[in-house]
Structure 1
Amino acid sequence: MTPIEDAGIGSVVVVGTGLIGTSIALALRQRDVRVFLADRDAGAVRLARELGAGEDWTGERRVDLAVVAVPPQFVAQQLLDLQKRDSARFYTDVASVKAVPLAQAAQLGCDLSSYVAGHPLAGRERSGPAAARADLFLGRPWAYCPTDEASPRAVAAVEGLISLCGGNAVRVDAAEHDRAVAVVSHAPHVTAAAVAARLAEASETALGLSGQGVRDVTRIAAGDPSLWTGILEGNALPVAEVLEALVADLSAAARSLRALAGDGAAMEQVTDLLSRGVRGTGRIPGKHGGPARTYAVVQVLIGDRPGELARLVQAAGETGVNIEDIRLEHATGLELGAAELYVQPEAAETLTEGLRERGWQVPG
């Protein structure tokens, strides 16, 4: 029996039907939890309901758990409003900042015994209920930050929620959480935005030469600026510290590059930065949260036509090789692209030969 079943939770209200809120609702519906939906945007609720995420919440029914899925700056007030109406037995939120909302909740006089702050570290560059997925949280870290005032049953309820959504529960102090996400989420978003901002002024020649590398670096910069403004405001100091360290590294690299013409040793600082980047990349957890693995890449030419990717995946499956990851790179101006299949190094040759036997073009 899961902790959420132990707590007797069979009904949940999700307040905020954006990407995260609707994804939570969809995940819970798959586990036969009754879900109610609320949002200031009636259209968002209607779309979430049409997607099968739940039913309208009028506020009259008391539920077992309320999930506050609103931007960080609105969490505390929304929590207070819900608690004043005795809307649920337990409460949590999913904002990506934890210390400020918790402090605000305490200042407003919220009941912290029934509230456990949370943050699923899963998302997409797209937003809104249309982008929601029931499997968004599978295997993803989900931080939760119980205070000393939080009751054991409130903690158990949030742990159960995470379990039902398929997340990986990570108990952490709120301040430590905010410092951590500044490094792995918030500062990277600002950095990606800074790189992408250069593209807004780039020449057509530069844009025509862009490839998968710049797409990888800037993908997350497509996130909603209004949402990210609230996130960064709520975690301003930890993010500023990370950005200042990044600026120091980049400034040192720029000075070295400018001095390169007259000083061959100037590249040492640039090389050091690139080397530290490789080491940092290697520390990112790999598949299933284990140690990072180095995969072999098998590149396959693929037509830009309906069903081609499905045919390729089927052909790869027939070789008996497990595909760890897939990335697509399109050829500008051509109805052709390349699929990069990431596999265990010892399986690369088997996959290559098997695909060639089935008529696929595998360069190299």
Structure 2
Amino acid sequence: MRTALVIGTGLIGTSAALALAARGVTVHLSDHDPDRARTAAALGAGTDEPPAGPVDLAIVAVPPAHVAATLADAMRRGAARGYIDVASVKQGPRRDLEAQGCDLSTYIGTHPMAGKEKSGPLAGTADLFEGRPWVLTPTRDSDTEVFNLALELIALCRAVPVVMDADAHDRAVALVSHTPQLVSSLVAARLEEADETAVRLCGQGIRDVTRIAASEPRMWVEILSANPGPVADVLSSVAADLDETVRSLRALQSADQDKRQGGAEGVEDVLRRGNAGRVRVPGKHGSAPTAYETVTVLISDQPGQLARIFADAGAAGVNIEDVRIEHATGQQAGRVQLTVQPSAVEGLTRTLTERGWSLRP
């Protein structure tokens, strides 16, 4: 691939353009808002000048409701040898293209499983897709050359290709992406009218659960409007679990010992099923689930503290797999939770203690 056209310079489009431009591909940027394309170009994602002729690959990175129309327009103009989109739903856009009589041999639906709660070109990064799954949904009509171009794009973005049926993809993202967004928003909505005293007690748990609730509502309305059935099916199952959990919690208030026992068993059941589901979540870079250990370090709210911890961990020869920071309410202090391989815990703990860090269980 030598040339590409990115149509839509939001988070995903700009990130893909940055990755391609960094690896020598000439990238042309287009957006319904010229200022967004100019911003992406200024970030080094390519040029906002139109290409002189057909490019190798056109990447359509617009909201799901506009994918088909944008693709159809690009195809009619002969903008590229091959076309892909990166929308988070796959079956709807393909049906719309078929209805418009487009030649689908030059098109493959794709979806990079990466993102942020922030949007727009300024949120884009060249490493957004590294190690992340990138789904392709080819059909028997898909041209091999276009499939290879899509694979090359994924390789240049350092993502991991995953081939799926479009319907299976839409059901999968309803479970692992779209429903979590709604559940996060539902929990965060409880905070809107909460007493200020309660809000001040927010810890890492509520921050973890509500992080993606900061996402742009209009963008998510468009995504959910393109995949409402599968999302509603998952939420219906979640609602059934919620109803059963509410009944179990009410039973714990009963004066009847048997009812209390039944309530405790009901709550334990959902917690245990949650444990079992969480274990199946892939580890870093999509690898098989890995059991990690956590080393918790008390730090003061001063410049350079995190850098010192990472440097000391490096001196111990320990790779930090993940890190979380929990701030102590009302205090100029916090806790850093370092996630490491179990075999690294002893050496890291010893080194940090020797270097004056205060560890917590």
Q: TM-score range by the shorter chain?
A: over 0.9
TM superposition score normalised by structure 2: 0.96
Distance 1:18 1:31 in 2: 20
1:83-114 alpha-carbon deviations (Å, 9 max, x no partner): 11110010001000000011001111222010
The answer to whether the aligner puts 1:104 opposite 2:104 as a matched pair is no
Residue 132 (structure 1) aligns with = 124
Distance 1:42 1:332 in 2: 44
What are the within-5 Å matches in structure 2 for residues 1-364 of structure 1? 9-58=1-50, 60-262=52-254, 263-264=259-260, 265-364=262-361
SS in 1 for 2:252: helix
- Which range is displaced more, 148-157 or 353-362? 353-362
Distance 1:305 1:91 in 2: 50
Contact 2:181 2:213 in 1 (8 A): yes
Where does the alignment leave 5 or more consecutive residues of structure 1 unmatched? 1-8
Distance 2:52 2:121 in 1: 24
Aligned length: 356
Shift of 1:332: 2.5
SS in 2 for 1:113: helix
Letter in 2 for 1:194: L
SS in 1 for 2:135: strand
Residue 3 (structure 1) aligns with = none
1:149-208 alpha-carbon deviations (Å, 9 max, x no partner): 111111111011111100100000000000011111111111111101111121111101
TM superposition score normalised by structure 1: 0.95
Letter in 1 for 2:207: R
- Which range is displaced more, 338-347 or 230-239? 338-347
Shift of 1:333: 2.6
Letter in 2 for 1:42: P
Shift of 1:59: 5.4
Distance 1:363 1:252 in 2: 36
Shift of 1:58: 2.4
RMSD: 1.2
- Which range is displaced more, 218-227 or 255-264? 255-264
Distance 2:192 2:358 in 1: 36
Distance 2:50 2:27 in 1: 12
Contact 1:11 1:33 in 2 (8 A): yes
Distance 1:62 1:109 in 2: 21
Letter in 1 for 2:301: D
Distance 1:286 1:85 in 2: 43
- Which range is displaced more, 299-308 or 221-230? 299-308
**Identity over the aligned pairs, expressed in percent?**
52
